[in-house]
Amino acid sequence: MDLQGPLDLFGLEPLLRVAEHSQSSFGITVEHPIAKGEVFVSFGFITWARVGRSLGKEALLTLASWTGAKFRLTPGAPTTKNREPMSPRAVFERDLRDSEPLHEVALQYVPIQGELSAIDIRQILHIFWLGGGAAKMHVSNVSEEGEIELEAGLIGTARVGSLEGREAVEHILGMEGCSVEILPGGMPIEQDDSLPIHLFLDLPEEAEEEVEITEVEDLEFEDAPLVEQIKKAKKGNVRERVLAACSSRDEVAISVVQEGNVTTDLAETLASKALTNSVVLKYLGEDKMFGGRPSVARALVFNPSTPPGTAADLLDRLRDADVRRVVRDSGAHSEFLRTRAKKLLDIRKKKRKL
């Protein structure tokens, strides 16, 4: 049986992004109460997409916006129908890991199930790493069966036979001739007992410069004249601007972000550092561009130096899994923030029941 089920659980965009990464070929049929669509993928490139009279990118964006749709995945390289091949990354034009949660919608308790012929277990893990959904996956073949619980880019429980944890995941990835059943939801995953999904994916390494500030550098910067500090805050290199943002002088710290030349990488660095001046953290949280980015919002909420009111206003940018972490971690978050997080979870739960 072809792999099929509710598209909301995967998301069309993560599915196509993974196909591009792994150079897969398959056809996707999408059925919705209002219309039906189809997408052909050949070696990772989209060669055909149609919904009604819409074709190409317009059809893909329409399909990706649907909720409550069902899909069927057919293995193989379908006919191109003479369309110019399109890259999924070029079609959607965004960083998927830094987008709004894709799977926190009103999911019916209906599984994705079928034989793993069009995609494999590693690709399914990649889909959930990109989309961040919560699910319980049961994998079986003629001789054995196993299960993996997923949430927010993490693997919680993993079992197959007598194996558990990382050994179980690696064993499941090597199983052949498998069928799979994937159910939405599951028990919240504890951060300390989890495994990041990306550990099991063949992803390109990203060179990220971690800016660590030494006590000597901090003292030297604080001892410099005020005019020089503000100059470095506005026009200095990354290290100098991070130092300025950590300054105890509000007028120096705020100069880093008020010039309008802050990159996303710098914003994420400042949002995640406990030494960053609270005026900078408040500014980033209230800024529509940076505060609206889930990665920056998440860093600000989990930064103990962020003013509680700013952190509370950013909670709705977070996935359910992260909001639950705020509720559970009484040692790291104020009672005010945890209460707001509880209320947000209740509101989301009620909306899903409508």
Is residue 36 one of the residues assigned to a domain?
yes
Is residue 207 one of the residues assigned to a domain?
no
Asked which of 200, 231, 252 is the last residue of a domain, the reply is: 200
Q: 234-258 burial string, b = 16+ CB within 10 Å, else e?
A: bebeeebbbbbbbbebeebbbbbbe
What is the amino acid identity at position 266? L
Is residue 206 one of the residues assigned to a domain?
no
Query: Domain check: are 257 and 119 in the same one?
Result: no
| Token digits of residue 91 | 């079609």
Q: How far is CA 106 from CA 169, 346, 353, in A?
A: 29, 14, 7
Distance CA 244, CA 224 (A): 11
Query: Domain check: are 159 and 12 in the same one?
Result: yes
- Along the 354 residues of the chain, how does pLDDT read in single tens digits? 788 888 888 888 888 888 888 888 889 999 998 899 999 988 888 888 999 888 888 889 888 888 888 999 988 766 656 567 788 877 776 554 444 444 444 445 578 888 888 788 888 888 888 776 778 899 999 999 999 988 767 888 899 999 988 899 999 998 888 999 988 876 555 555 678 888 888 765 444 445 555 554 556 777 788 888 888 888 888 888 888 888 888 988 888 888 657 777 788 888 888 889 999 999 998 887 777 777 788 889 888 889 989 988 988 887 777 788 788 776 667 788 888 888 888 887 777 655
Query: Domain check: are 95 and 43 in the same one?
Result: yes
Query: Domain check: are 186 and 265 in the same one?
Result: no
Is residue 314 one of the residues assigned to a domain?
yes
Query: Domain check: are 50 and 171 in the same one?
Result: yes
Is residue 78 one of the residues assigned to a domain?
yes
| Token digits of residue 264 | 């996303």
Query: Domain check: are 134 and 95 in the same one?
Result: yes
Query: Domain check: are 178 and 221 in the same one?
Result: no
Residues 6+ apart with CB under 8 A from 283: 254, 257, 258
Q: Which residues are bridge partners to 42 per DSSP?
A: 45
Number of domains the chain is built from:
2
Query: Domain check: are 50 and 151 in the same one?
Result: yes
Query: Domain check: are 188 and 228 in the same one?
Result: no
8 Å CB contact between 49 and 100: no
Is residue 210 one of the residues assigned to a domain?
no
Is residue 209 one of the residues assigned to a domain?
no
Query: Domain check: are 132 and 242 in the same one?
Result: no
Is residue 8 one of the residues assigned to a domain?
yes
Distance CA 61, CA 53 (A): 14
Domain holding 56, by residue range, is 3-200
Q: 143-179 burial string, b = 16+ CB within 10 Å, else e?
A: eebbbbbbbbbbbbbbbbeeeeeeebbebbeebeebb
In this predicted structure, what is the pLDDT of residue 332? Answer: 63
Asked which of 174, 200, 226 is the last residue of a domain, the reply is: 200
8 Å CB contact between 353 and 138: no
Query: Domain check: are 57 and 104 in the same one?
Result: yes
Model pTM score: 0.59
8 Å CB contact between 91 and 46: yes
Query: Domain check: are 166 and 311 in the same one?
Result: no
Distance CA 240, CA 270 (A): 12
Asked which of 200, 223, 253 is the last residue of a domain, the reply is: 200
